[in-house]
Amino acid sequence: MTSETGEPIVSLRAVGKTFANGVAALHGLDLAVQPGEFLSLLGPSGCGKSTALKLIAGLAAPSAGTIAWPGGVAPGRSDIGFVFQEPTLMAWATVFGNVRLPLTLTGVPDDKAAPAVMQALDRVGLAEFTHVYPRALSGGMRMRVSLARALVTQPKLLLMDEPFAALDEITRFKLNDDLLAAWQALGKTVVFVTHSVFESVYLSNRIVVMTPRPGRVFAEIPIEAPYPRDPSFRTSAEYAHFCRLTSDALARAMGEVAA
Amino acid sequence: MSERNGERRERALRILLPGVMLALTIVAWDLVVRLNQIPPFVLPGPGLVMSTLIADWTVLSQSLAVTLLTTFEGLALAVIGGVGLAVLFNQSRVLEYALYPYAVILQVTPIVAIAPLLLIYLPQPAAVLACAWIVAFFPVLANTTLGLNSVDHNLVSLFELYGASRWQVLRHLKLPAALPHVLGGIRIAGGLSLIGAVVAEIAAGTAGAGSGLAYRIVESGYRLNIPRLFAALLLLSVSGIVIFFLLSLVSHLALRHWHESAVARDT
């Protein structure tokens, strides 16, 4: 980690992305991700927040602007973990095989991989399901496998693209708490894309509200509530205050299109 | 309780019904032959076909072995060639654009029309094998191509994120994802390989060579030995059915843990 230097892990300057079909997803996006923070990108569907995440992961190249990594974290290989909106598991591999994948691809030998996989599965509460195939798991459990797979390489930066959007509320709340616990225990940096005001307030210490397409930063809202946060936070006045603040910002961001 | 009884009755029906139907067909066939006093050189009864099968077993079993060997060799080459070409095409656009048209041409030109040519150019066993291969390889190629291309895009992204090599993407992602399609292609190719072998044997048989089952059929036809023709035909049908079931079994065993096609639906 590079928190001592005060440098951001990754900084995006005037980043734009226009697709081959002419759709401009991002325009003039400035964003710096600080080490150790839990940052949420919040915006309406199609505002380019997923695109921003793919650009950071190096899965797509920006059409304008620069992405710099002053903190010494390199994109690619095992410094970055990615969790997609769907669990995106290999149906033909067991839970163990799925979580083992990043280690297989980066050439980690068996004697080092097996304990790492077990540790990651233990963290998401699936240690007893190593030999089960994904089809036998519930949606929430599949998402846990996906999370374990992203954590198994001990990445410095965890990118999450609306990972819990398809889950029911009870499962989502549980996974929110587990994610927070993992984030605190491991001291990772998380960039979390969501369209839920409530989810972003509950999880983050900073929310970046984006405008509709082409997306750029509309507002930044620090959520200055202490961690660890637990379900009682959801009913607190503080939480309600931040939710209102964030909702207002989002509403104003939505008005930006007309302007 | 009644639900379980219903399930048991359903299963009994599924096994019993085809058996009863088969028995009825054989009885009807026998009755038609007996009551109309049809001579055996027009339509032999089932009993005569069976006794001919036993009496001529030495000749027929040797021919069966020849045809089955060609079929399995053709199928094996079709699997190697089909999967191999599909992987090559998947890795290289240039190769795909250059060679795919020829694969299509081989597929759409009727094998009966190609067989005589092959019999001129190649020694007879090789020509028969080539025919079996030509008919059988296309479904493997087409299905494998489809399978290799129907990989989850996000999984491809994930592999890219971890810097996977081409070989790793193929080995850990594309080939396993394509497996159900490949097995489906092989199941079709099994039956087609038999057809290809038979067609080529018939083409060769009229030229006076060969000893496969199809040759026996042609030969028996010329000699008006219709019971033996029926016996050979019966062996061919049974071979086709057995090949299909064997390949279905292989497919089921390979996919039973994860693919929807091989897993029972929860009810």
**Rounded average pLDDT over A193-221:** 93
**Rounded average pLDDT over B151-171:** 94
Mean pLDDT of chain A: 91
Mean pLDDT of chain B: 91
The C-alpha of B173 sits at a distance from chain A's nearest C-alpha, in angstroms, of 8
Q: Are strands A64-68 and A80-83 parallel, antiparallel or unpaired?
A: unpaired
Q: A100 contacts in B (CB within 8 Å)?
A: none
The answer to whether A102 contacts chain B (CB < 8 Å) is yes
Q: A158 contacts in B (CB within 8 Å)?
A: none
Res. A4 pLDDT band, cuts 50 70 90: very low
pLDDT, tens digit, for every residue of A124-151? 999 999 999 999 999 999 999 999 999 9
Chain centroid offset of residue B46 CA: 26
Chain centroid offset of residue A188 CA: 11
Task: Reply yes or no on whether the pLDDT at B267 is more than 70.
Answer: no
State the Cα–Cα distance between residues B34 and B48, nearest whole angstrom. 12
The answer to whether A77 contacts chain B (CB < 8 Å) is yes
Res. B3 pLDDT band, cuts 50 70 90: low
Model pLDDT, residue B137? 92
Model pLDDT, residue A73? 81
The answer to whether A90 contacts chain B (CB < 8 Å) is yes
pLDDT, tens digit, for every residue of B218-255? 889 999 999 999 999 999 999 999 999 999 999 999 99
Which CATH number among 3.30.230.10, 1.10.3720.10, 1.10.3470.10, 2.120.10.30 corresponds to the domain B45-262?
1.10.3720.10
Model pLDDT, residue A228? 87
The answer to whether B262 contacts chain A (CB < 8 Å) is no
The answer to whether B150 contacts chain A (CB < 8 Å) is no
Best to test chain A binding among B153, B155, B159, B161 (most A CBs inside 10 Å)? B161
- Comparing CB atoms, the residue among A80, A88, A135 nearest residue B258 is A135
Domain residue spans of chain B: 1-38, 45-262
Q: DSSP letters along A203-250, please?
A: H-SEEEEEPSSSB-EEEEEE---PSSP-GGGGGSHHHHHHHHHHHHHH
Model pLDDT, residue A85? 92
Q: B263 contacts in A (CB within 8 Å)?
A: 135
- Comparing CB atoms, the residue among B159, B164, B258 nearest residue A91 is B258
Higher-confidence residue: A33 or B1? A33
pLDDT, tens digit, for every residue of B172-222? 999 999 999 999 999 999 999 999 999 988 888 755 556 889 989 988 999
Output the pTM of the full model: 0.86
pLDDT, tens digit, for every residue of B49-77? 999 999 999 999 999 999 999 999 999 99
The answer to whether B157 contacts chain A (CB < 8 Å) is yes
Task: Reply yes or no on whether the pLDDT at B90 is more than 60.
Answer: yes
Record: contact B161-A59, CB cut-off 8 A: yes
The answer to whether A95 contacts chain B (CB < 8 Å) is no
The C-alpha of B156 sits at a distance from chain A's nearest C-alpha, in angstroms, of 10
Task: Reply yes or no on whether the pLDDT at A3 is more than 50.
Answer: no
